[in-house]
Amino acid sequence: MAVTIRDVAKAAGVSTAAVSKVLHGRGNSVRVSDVRAGQIREIAEQLNYRPNVLARNLRTQRTHTVGLIFENFGSFAAGPLYYMHLLEGVGSVLFKNHYRLTILPELLHDDILGSLGDGQLEGVVWCKLTRDAQTLQLIHDCPIPIVAMNAPAPAEPTDAVFVACDNASGVRLAVEHLAKLGHRKIAFAHEIQELTSPDCLERRDAFHASAKELMGQEPNPADVLAWDWHLPEFAGWWKSDPGYTAIICWSERTAGTLINRATEAGLKLPEDLSIVGFDSTAYCETTTPRLTSVSQPISEMARYATNTLLNLIQGKRPENFSLTFPCGLDVRDSTTCPPPTGPLGPVSSE
Amino acid sequence: MAVTIRDVAKAAGVSTAAVSKVLHGRGNSVRVSDVRAGQIREIAEQLNYRPNVLARNLRTQRTHTVGLIFENFGSFAAGPLYYMHLLEGVGSVLFKNHYRLTILPELLHDDILGSLGDGQLEGVVWCKLTRDAQTLQLIHDCPIPIVAMNAPAPAEPTDAVFVACDNASGVRLAVEHLAKLGHRKIAFAHEIQELTSPDCLERRDAFHASAKELMGQEPNPADVLAWDWHLPEFAGWWKSDPGYTAIICWSERTAGTLINRATEAGLKLPEDLSIVGFDSTAYCETTTPRLTSVSQPISEMARYATNTLLNLIQGKRPENFSLTFPCGLDVRDSTTCPPPTGPLGPVSSE
DNA sequence: CAACGTTGATAAATCCGTTAATCGGATCAA
DNA sequence: TTGATCCGATTAACGGATTTATCAACGTTG
């Protein structure tokens, strides 16, 4: 059995209160002389005493632990580096503040309150929180503070803090960039409909709006490639209306795969087709051509979200219950002027 | 203040033992009639009672929580998908077994025993554990079971379980593949020396051995490109001895970057230069050309490691204290026969 | 000398769920 | 009738650290 504070107290001939005070600095009205303190420290060292954090947590009702919820842990490894940056950002702030980080599974709605209200977590960073009534209720009932990341803030303010990037202006930057290069008909690509996230939908809507505003392109269903990743699907869409000279992708991964398929289909990039991604991590440097991408300050957002959560835990009311980070545009090699000969005709599907 | 088991007991007019039994099924010698049980459940529901896990953990001395240590959390987001697969594998097994997952920071050696011995964790998956004397001592002193991943097992058996892939035979597969394609002089690339991991060194040694065995290539310092990721560095190395027709990279990321730099340097891939990576995740599908890569069953290894850890926690002695998973080779488009005109001469560095 | 403050330290309550020990009473077999 | 067993339930100790309340002893001050 492990050495307890009582063992140390007994061995040193003092009370547990004294040991607690000396070793952990806890207890206000407890005073210990320097001599005693030295003895206690020595005995503790000899006995190899390690405080039981479970007991401390129970007593103090604090755990110094924060949870992180991914909306899709199961398909976690499919996406490129977005989640890693997120995790790195959250983790680094927590660790610096001597907090622990617990990864939570995708929770069934029934379980969530049980998991968040069992005393083990002091707060939660919730990635891609959805905005349905059930979730809003949950936010209301949740006994610990929540910071939502990459989730659009609901109309009515809640107790949760929402941190997101400005999808609309990010997409606008991409459209603007393409318009300046001379493009006049562009498309938007995301994975098949069932998997789309709130972020993705926001970006798609912004695409329609910006394309209309900046290049007079009327919204058209064909403008959106909802895609299963496979070559025939891409080739089919391309053949159906080959007038596009550029594609904006909702994410890095979509863009990376599209680069690959387009190349396989015989297109020369970026001369035949310009491609823009979204996220701009190190991944963009490793595609061929290197991927022009809307940049989202993921790591910074994660750090901000986590710091805000730590403040909430300490009872500090945040200045903003919703903060939107601006996006940038990292121009790399996957975008250029449209083909001088005009948009390309159909290409082979194999 | 939160509702406690005592509140429920009082409201239902029964003892806390009865409530504990009914709601959590704990306590052997406690018996409750169905009628009472129903009442208790109803009251608990009404009061919105949620058990305090801290108290339970303290009493039972169990937390159902496992820790995961990355050796380099700080540079976590730099590598491609390896860590995500690892995390996904560990997490999925834990969640299925109703365990929680805590990510631990890079620990100073002083802190480690404190963190692992404070009662909060029942076991640890330790990624890329090193094999120095200090660590072996730590394994010995650690009060909870450890499973090491992607770490070579020490000569003397320890209490920890070691799970790794067969780096040597993996590299051999790559060399064999290249030899069959007709290559006779190949190189090995990894990031700059200071950042190399045990895994990387094992692979490099295996490269020398296999190249000698399978194509009679005598080990030569120039065979190894220890690289800072930048184009001039690559171009410089290439110019210094342009006789190589293929490069095996220690990791996916190295390979991806190499593909990019080689393309920038004007090489045509794979015709001018064949490239093989190591890990074979979805990332390999998004490079151009798609990356031929040694495959390591990361997810499977992570699952095995985690299951083994859960068994250890339950006191089951594992069958093997060291398990090596075989590697495979996923041939994609980045490897082909060497140039028929013989190895290429120097190429431009910009 | 009384009143008061300070130092050094302890006892005991507390956090909240778990569980071994126990108990009254009913049932049943010998 | 006695003893054994089972049912339904409670009591109280327990896990290990924290913290409030309290106290003795001693010194200071007016």
Residue A342 banded pLDDT, cuts 50, 70, 90: low
CB contact (8 A) between residue A118 and residue B52: yes
pLDDT digits (tens, 9 = 90+) for B73-100: 777 776 678 888 999 999 999 999 999 9
pLDDT value at residue A244 = 94
pLDDT value at residue A176 = 97
Is A263 near chain B, with CB under 8 Å?
yes
Cα of B231 to nearest chain A Cα, Å: 12
Contacts of B127 (CB under 8 A, 6+ apart): B68, B69, B70, B71, B86, B148, B149, B150, B151
pLDDT digits (tens, 9 = 90+) for B34-85: 888 999 999 999 999 999 999 999 999 999 999 999 877 777 776 678 888 9
Task: Considering only CA atoms, give the Rg of chain B.
Answer: 27
Is A60 near chain B, with CB under 8 Å?
no
**DSSP assignment letter at B118:** S
Looking at every residue in chain A, the average pLDDT score rounds to 89
pLDDT digits (tens, 9 = 90+) for B183-202: 999 999 998 876 677 888 89
Residue A37 banded pLDDT, cuts 50, 70, 90: very high
Sheet holding B322-325, edge to edge: A322-325, A161-165, A146-149, A123-127, A65-69, A100-104, B100-104, B65-69, B123-127, B146-149, B161-165, B322-325
Cα of B303 to nearest chain A Cα, Å: 14
For A54, the closest of B58, B73, B281 (CB atoms) is B58
Residue A195 banded pLDDT, cuts 50, 70, 90: low
Percent of chain B at pLDDT > 90 equals 63
Does residue A179 carry a pLDDT above 90?
A: yes
pLDDT value at residue B174 = 98
List of domains in chain A:
5-60 (1.10.260.40), 65-166+298-326 (3.40.50.2300), 167-295 (3.40.50.2300)
Segment of A121-125, A287-291, B338-342 carrying the highest mean pLDDT:
A121-125
Does residue A27 carry a pLDDT above 70?
A: no
Q: How does A148-183 read in b/e, with b if 16+ C-beta sit within 10 Å?
A: bbbbbbbeeebebbbbbbbbbbbbbbbbbbbbebeb
Residue B350 banded pLDDT, cuts 50, 70, 90: very low
pLDDT value at residue A350 = 45
pLDDT value at residue A285 = 81
Does residue A192 carry a pLDDT above 60?
A: yes
Q: Mean per-residue pLDDT for A239-256?
A: 90
Does residue B345 carry a pLDDT above 60?
A: no
How far, in Å, CA of B348 to CA of B346, rounded?
7
Is A266 near chain B, with CB under 8 Å?
no
pLDDT value at residue B348 = 52
Distances (CA, A) of B122 to B102, B162, B313: 11, 18, 7
pLDDT value at residue B272 = 93
| Residue type, position A144, single letter | I
pLDDT value at residue B80 = 72
Residue A107 banded pLDDT, cuts 50, 70, 90: confident
pLDDT value at residue A349 = 47
Which of the two residues, A256 and A307, has the higher pLDDT score?
A307
Residue B295 banded pLDDT, cuts 50, 70, 90: very high
Q: Mean per-residue pLDDT for B280-303?
A: 90
Region of poorest pLDDT, from A268-277, B10-19, B125-134, B244-253? B125-134
CB contact (8 A) between residue B85 and residue A77: yes
- Could you tell me the two tokens for B234? 């690559």
| Residue type, position A87, single letter | L
Does residue A260 carry a pLDDT above 50?
A: yes
Is B92 near chain A, with CB under 8 Å?
yes
For A114, the closest of B50, B120, B259 (CB atoms) is B50
Per CB-CB distance under 8 Å, the chain A contacts of B92 are 73-74
For A54, the closest of B95, B119, B287 (CB atoms) is B119
CB contact (8 A) between residue B81 and residue A77: yes
